[in-house]
């Protein structure tokens, strides 16, 4: 593989970007963000000559100057991030400096050193500002990261302003018609979440809830649904993986599965509401550190829930906390029996997302599979847990261009955790350790031993899922197995030729 040259225009200027064969999704994003002089909260869209939106990822195809792509900044208020002025100025300076480094590669060494030291000092700034923790650079020095409640910002006003801006956009847009084409695509596992900004995802979630007729069936007022969706958005943290976009993906996959399996004709509308609301709420206020960390570090969450699924218990409690506010309570017009049914169902579905219970739940499903009956309450409850689990870990069932960036996000979150564990002297799981894991090795085992057995079981009940989720996962396994083999081979060749290639990771 050789370096790919990407030609594109931005702000009327012709630009080129060089993508190294081993560059990460984050590297690619950095290049385009720098070229567009975009703020971190901006959304960039890249179009082909035919006006088709392209995914900004390492898989981007090389092109010629004649077929230049067009990069556009979907502008939002640059002040919305609420960066301190000093940082904002510094970031601007950094972008200029980056441009100079790229443009003046032949500059004397002294100039480069000067730039490097300024970049370094900017990085140090970033590492000390919690508000920018989503960049994965923030270094915690105290124990306050262990707190359960949402405290991701050192400047709560700016976070609030940011949220309010999303709210305004969401409410302005929600009256607009989402096209039929998008509505149809929303019902499929191939939907590309990366093309949508937060306010747009809120509109799409509203479409999902209205499309299944929940508003009429459960007497939910549109403004209450909108308040609820907005509060759900506000209670996801700015962390690499378990963020609002993950919540959107899981809910969208659940919606897709409901359509593909024609579940509407098999379970009650109330159960559909349980499944979609559970998907929406299943990772609320996730702190970015898993249950094992919570328990080993004896966090407030682990203490509160006696080490029993601390995170999942918390996600569920936050969900009902949101609904305790009358203006957000989508369940307020239900009878007490209906409320009880939905609350029980949501608790079961959300607690089922604890991967420590994976084998228990899968085993139960396997045992009832031969006699599965949709009218049997127990069978149906197990199925709902399984659907929730499938939706939660379904990224690899999506097209590679959609799935692959999620893996970078997940590893980023894992590495943040293992770095903290090392600092605190806590046990480190090898699958989270940046020194031990590579992208292919992290996926082959997970797909083979977790995804395939689960997806195979659900496909037995719904054979139509074979092509939609089982096949793509098999392809992903082939892809990552090939990469893993190539990586091992490269390592061995490196060792035998003493070329000093030891430790070189393919990805
Ligand atoms: Zn999740």
DSSP class per residue in 292-354: HHHHHTT-HHHHHTTTSSHHHHHHHHHHHHHHTSGGG-TTTTS-HHHHHHHHHHHHHHHHTT-
The residue that leads in pLDDT, 161 or 155, is 161
Q: Is 89 found in the same domain as 70?
A: no
Q: Is 267 found in the same domain as 204?
A: yes
Instruction: For residue 204, tell me if it sits in a domain.
Output: yes
Residue 73 — φ and ψ, nearest 5°? Answer: -90, 125
SS3 content of the chain, % helix, strand, coil (to 5): 65, 5, 30
What's the pTM value of the predicted model, to 2 decimals?
A: 0.69
Residues that are catalytic: 242
Q: Is 58 found in the same domain as 29?
A: yes
Instruction: For residue 213, tell me if it sits in a domain.
Output: yes
CA separation, residue 203 to residues 88, 159, 342 (Å)? 30, 21, 24
Of the chain, the percentage scoring pLDDT greater than 90 comes to 61
Q: Is 169 found in the same domain as 93?
A: no
Confidence of residue 157 (pLDDT cuts 50, 70, 90): low
Q: Is 189 found in the same domain as 95?
A: no
CB distance 224 to 328 below 8 Å: yes
Q: Is 110 found in the same domain as 91?
A: yes
Q: Which of 411, 437, 463 is the last residue of a domain?
A: 437
Q: Which of 437, 463, 485 is the last residue of a domain?
A: 437
**Rounded CA gap, 407 and 442, in Å?**
9
Sign, CA dihedral 234-238-240-245, equals positive
Q: Strand 53-54 relative to strand 69-74: parallel, antiparallel, unpaired? A: unpaired
Q: Write the CATH number for 27.
A: 3.10.20.90
CA of 452 to the centre of ligand 1 (A): 18
Q: How many domains does the chain have?
A: 3
CB distance 69 to 48 below 8 Å: yes
Instruction: For residue 477, tell me if it sits in a domain.
Output: no
pLDDT at 325 over 90: yes
- Comparing 87-96, 124-133, 142-151, the range with the smallest average pLDDT is 142-151
CA of 37 to the centre of ligand 1 (A): 33
Instruction: For residue 468, tell me if it sits in a domain.
Output: no
Please state the separation of Cα 400 from the chain's center in Å.
Answer: 14
CB burial of 468-502 (b: ≥16 within 10 Å; e: otherwise) equals bbbebbbebbebbeebbeebeeebeeeeeeeeeee
Please state the separation of Cα 188 from the chain's center in Å.
Answer: 18
Q: Is 238 found in the same domain as 306?
A: yes
**Rounded CA gap, 257 and 388, in Å?**
10
Q: Is 426 found in the same domain as 348?
A: yes
Q: Is 327 found in the same domain as 304?
A: yes
Residue-number span of the structural domain to which 283 is assigned: 156-437
| Average confidence (pLDDT) over 283-303 | 97
**Rounded CA gap, 322 and 110, in Å?**
56
CA of 505 to the centre of ligand 1 (A): 28
Instruction: For residue 151, tell me if it sits in a domain.
Output: no
Instruction: For residue 143, tell me if it sits in a domain.
Output: no
CB distance 240 to 413 below 8 Å: yes
Residue with tokens 């939706």: 391
Instruction: For residue 489, tell me if it sits in a domain.
Output: no
Q: Is 70 found in the same domain as 95?
A: no
CA of 335 to the centre of ligand 1 (A): 30
> Measuring CA to CA, which residue among 242, 277, 272, 247 is closest to residue 257?
272
Q: What is the pLDDT of residue 44?
A: 81
CA of 241 to the centre of ligand 1 (A): 9
| Average confidence (pLDDT) over 333-345 | 97
Q: Is 166 found in the same domain as 124?
A: no
> Measuring CA to CA, which residue among 210, 204, 249, 235 is closest to residue 325?
235
pLDDT digits (tens, 9 = 90+) for 24-77: 888 888 888 888 888 777 778 888 887 777 888 888 888 998 889 989 876 554
Please state the separation of Cα 279 from the chain's center in Å.
Answer: 13
Taken as a whole, the chain contains a residue count of 507
Q: Is 261 found in the same domain as 236?
A: yes
CA of 453 to the centre of ligand 1 (A): 19
Strand partners, 47: 53, 70
The residue that leads in pLDDT, 65 or 150, is 65
CB distance 237 to 413 below 8 Å: no
> Measuring CA to CA, which residue among 54, 52, 60 is closest to residue 25?
60
Of the chain, the percentage scoring pLDDT greater than 70 comes to 80
Instruction: For residue 499, tell me if it sits in a domain.
Output: no
Residue 2 — φ and ψ, nearest 5°? Answer: -120, 175
């Amino acid at each position: 593989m050789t370096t790919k040259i990407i030609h594109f225009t931005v702000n009327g200027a012709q630009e080129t970007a060089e993508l190294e064969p081993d560059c990460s999704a984050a590297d690619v994003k950095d290049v385009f963000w720098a070229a567009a002089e975009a703020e971190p909260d901006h959304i960039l869209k890249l179009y082909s000559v035919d006006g088709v939106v392209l995914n900004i990822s390492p898989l981007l195809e090389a092109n010629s100057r004649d077929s230049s792509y067009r990069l556009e900044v979907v502008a939002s208020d640059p002040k919305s991030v609420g960066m301190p002025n000093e940082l904002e100025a510094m970031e601007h300076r950094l972008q200029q400096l980056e441009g100079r480094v790229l443009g003046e590669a032949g500059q004397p060494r002294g100039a480069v050193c000067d730039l490097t030291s300024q970049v370094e000092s900017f990085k140090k700034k970033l590492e000390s500002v919690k508000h920018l923790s989503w960049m994965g650079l923030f270094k915690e020095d105290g124990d306050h990261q262990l707190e359960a409640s949402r405290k991701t910002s050192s400047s709560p006003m700016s976070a609030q302003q940011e949220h309010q801006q999303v709210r305004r956009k969401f409410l302005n847009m929600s009256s607009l018609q989402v096209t039929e084409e998008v509505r149809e695509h929303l019902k499929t596992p191939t939907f590309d979440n990366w093309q949508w900004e937060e306010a747009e995802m809120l509109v799409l979630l509203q479409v999902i809830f209205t499309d299944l007729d929940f508003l009429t069936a459960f007497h939910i007022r549109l403004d209450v649904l909108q308040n609820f969706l907005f509060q759900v958005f506000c209670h996801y943290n700015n962390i690499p993986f378990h963020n609002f976009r993950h919540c959107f993906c899981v809910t969208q996959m659940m919606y897709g599965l409901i359509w593909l399996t024609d579940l509407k004709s098999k379970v009650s509308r109330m159960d559909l509401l349980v499944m979609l609301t559970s998907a929406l709420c299943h990772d609320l206020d996730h702190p970015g550190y898993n249950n094992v960390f919570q328990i080993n570090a004896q966090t407030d969450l682990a203490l509160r829930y006696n080490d029993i699924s601390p995170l999942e218990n918390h996600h569920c409690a936050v969900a009902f906390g949101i609904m305790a506010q009358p203006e957000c309570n989508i369940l307020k017009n239900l009878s007490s029996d209906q409320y009880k049914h939905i609350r029980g169902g949501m608790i079961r579905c959300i607690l089922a997302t604890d991967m420590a219970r994976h084998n228990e739940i899968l085993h139960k499903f396997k045992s009832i599979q031969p006699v599965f009956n949709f009218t049997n309450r127990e069978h149906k409850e197990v199925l709902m847990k399984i659907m929730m689990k499938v939706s939660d870990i379904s990224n690899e069932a999506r097209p590679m261009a959609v799935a692959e960036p999620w893996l970078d996000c997940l590893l980023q979150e894992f590495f943040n955790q293992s770095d903290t564990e090392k600092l605190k002297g806590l046990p480190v799981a090898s699958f989270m350790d940046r020194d031990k894991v590579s992208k292919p090795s992290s996926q082959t085992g997970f797909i083979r031993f977790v995804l395939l057995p689960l997806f195979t079981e659900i496909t037995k009940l719904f054979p139509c899922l074979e092509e939609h989720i089982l096949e793509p996962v098999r392809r992903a396994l082939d892809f990552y197995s090939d990469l893993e083999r190539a990586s091992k081979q490269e390592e061995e060749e490196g060792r035998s030729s003493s070329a000093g290639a030891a430790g070189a990771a393919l990805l």
